[in-house]
């Protein structure tokens, strides 16, 4: 039943946006309405850059400490959605976008989504303990030192030979 509401939402939202354009245009004039639309697009782009960079710094910090970045990934996705909603012309989408830029609203949305969303992360080859300098073995990879192979300059194909 929920899926049947999604097409209805995408049909009604543009109609509501058009009605809002008409009401706002009557109240403040066409030029001011167009100016507000352009202003919201610029604000959306600026906020995306400022808050997006903040989220990227937090993600880098979490990845260095080995913590789960799921919450920050979802917050970052909400910031991208918020900026997209501000860049799109429309006052209702702007209102939703502005709300998503508020950290308390994003946190409330995260608490709602937390049990419904699974964030899968993969660890990279970096180690949380830099003192652990032992090389990791990767299945199917043979790691050779410089002294363990030579190159054949006369051969055009793969030229590494084991000694």
161: enclosing H helix or E strand: strand 160-162
For residues 54 and 48, what is the distance between their CA atoms, to the nearest angstrom?
10
pLDDT at 62: 79
Q: Which residues pair with 161 in a beta bridge?
A: 150
* pLDDT mean across residues, the chain: 79
For residues 70 and 87, what is the distance between their CA atoms, to the nearest angstrom?
26
pLDDT at 144: 73
Given a contact cutoff of 8 angstroms between Cβ atoms, the answer to whether 5 and 13 are in contact is no
107: pLDDT strictly greater than 60: yes
For residues 156 and 111, what is the distance between their CA atoms, to the nearest angstrom?
58
pLDDT, tens digit (0-9, with 9 covering 90-100), for 44-102 = 889 888 887 888 788 788 778 877 777 788 888 888 899 999 999 999 999 999 999 89
pTM score of the predicted model: 0.63
pLDDT at 4: 76
> HSE (CB half, 13 Å, CA atoms) of 84?
6
> 113 to each of 1, 56, 109, how far by Cα in Å?
19, 21, 6
Neighbours of 90 (CB within 10 A): 20
For residues 21 and 92, what is the distance between their CA atoms, to the nearest angstrom?
10
pLDDT, tens digit (0-9, with 9 covering 90-100), for 3-49 = 678 888 888 989 999 999 999 999 999 999 999 999 999 998 898 88
């Amino acid at each position: 039943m929920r899926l049947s509401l999604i097409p209805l939402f995408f049909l009604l939202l543009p109609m509501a946006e058009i009605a809002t354009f008409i009401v706002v245009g009557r109240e403040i004039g066409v030029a001011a309405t167009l100016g507000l639309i352009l202003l919201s697009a610029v604000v959306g782009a600026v906020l995306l850059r400022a808050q997006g960079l903040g989220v990227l710094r937090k993600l880098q910090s979490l990845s260095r400490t080995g913590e789960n970045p799921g919450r920050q990934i979802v917050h970052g996705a909400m910031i991208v959605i918020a900026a997209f909603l501000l860049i799109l012309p429309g006052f209702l989408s702007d209102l939703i976008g502005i709300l998503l830029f508020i950290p308390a609203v994003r946190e409330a949305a995260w608490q709602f989504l937390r049990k419904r969303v699974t964030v899968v992360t993969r660890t990279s080859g970096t180690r949380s303990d830099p003192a652990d300098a032992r090389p990791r073995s990767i299945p199917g990879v043979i790691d050779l030192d410089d002294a363990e192979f030579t190159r054949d300059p006369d051969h055009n194909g793969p030229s590494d030979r084991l000694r």
